[in-house]
Amino acid sequence: MRAQRRFAEALPEYETVLAVNPNWVWALHALGQCKLYSGSIEETIPLVERAIRLSPRDPLLSVWYWQIGFVHLLQSRTDEAILWFEKARGAGPEVPSVRAGLASAYGLNGETQRAAAELAQARRLSADDRHSSIARLKAIGTFRGVPKIHALGEATYFAGLRKAGMPEE
**Cβ-based neighbour number of residue 64 at 10 Å:** 25
Torsion of CA 48, 52, 55, 61, to 10 degrees: 90
Can you give the residue range of the structural domain that contains 133? 89-169
User: Is pLDDT of 118 > 80?
Assistant: yes
User: Is pLDDT of 144 > 80?
Assistant: no
| % of the chain surpassing 70 pLDDT | 99
Q: Is residue 27 part of a domain?
A: no
Residues 6 or more apart whose Cβ sits within 8 Å of residue 5: 37, 141, 144, 145
What pLDDT score was predicted for residue 69? 98
Give the Cα-Cα-Cα angle 153, 75, 32 (nearest 5 degrees).
Answer: 80
Q: Is residue 59 part of a domain?
A: no
In this prediction, residues 108-134 reach a mean pLDDT of 96
Q: How confident is the model at residue 5 (pLDDT cuts 50, 70, 90)?
A: confident
User: Is pLDDT of 53 > 90?
Assistant: yes
Cα-to-chain-centroid distance, residue 111? 20
**Cβ-based neighbour number of residue 134 at 10 Å:** 19
Q: Is residue 13 part of a domain?
A: no
User: Is pLDDT of 3 > 90?
Assistant: no
Q: Is residue 25 part of a domain?
A: no
What pLDDT score was predicted for residue 146? 85
Phi/psi for 94 (5° steps) reads: -100, 10
Q: How confident is the model at residue 133 (pLDDT cuts 50, 70, 90)?
A: very high
What pLDDT score was predicted for residue 71? 97
The number of distinct structural domains making up the chain is 1
Q: Which long-range contacts (CB under 8 A, 24 or more apart) does 115-123 make?
A: 115/160, 115/163, 115/164, 115/165, 116/164, 116/165, 118/164, 119/161, 119/164, 119/165, 119/166, 121/96, 122/96, 122/97, 123/96
Phi/psi for 89 (5° steps) reads: -65, -40
What pLDDT score was predicted for residue 4? 87
Q: Is residue 161 part of a domain?
A: yes
What pLDDT score was predicted for residue 140? 87
- Mean confidence (pLDDT) of the chain: 95
Q: Is residue 98 part of a domain?
A: yes
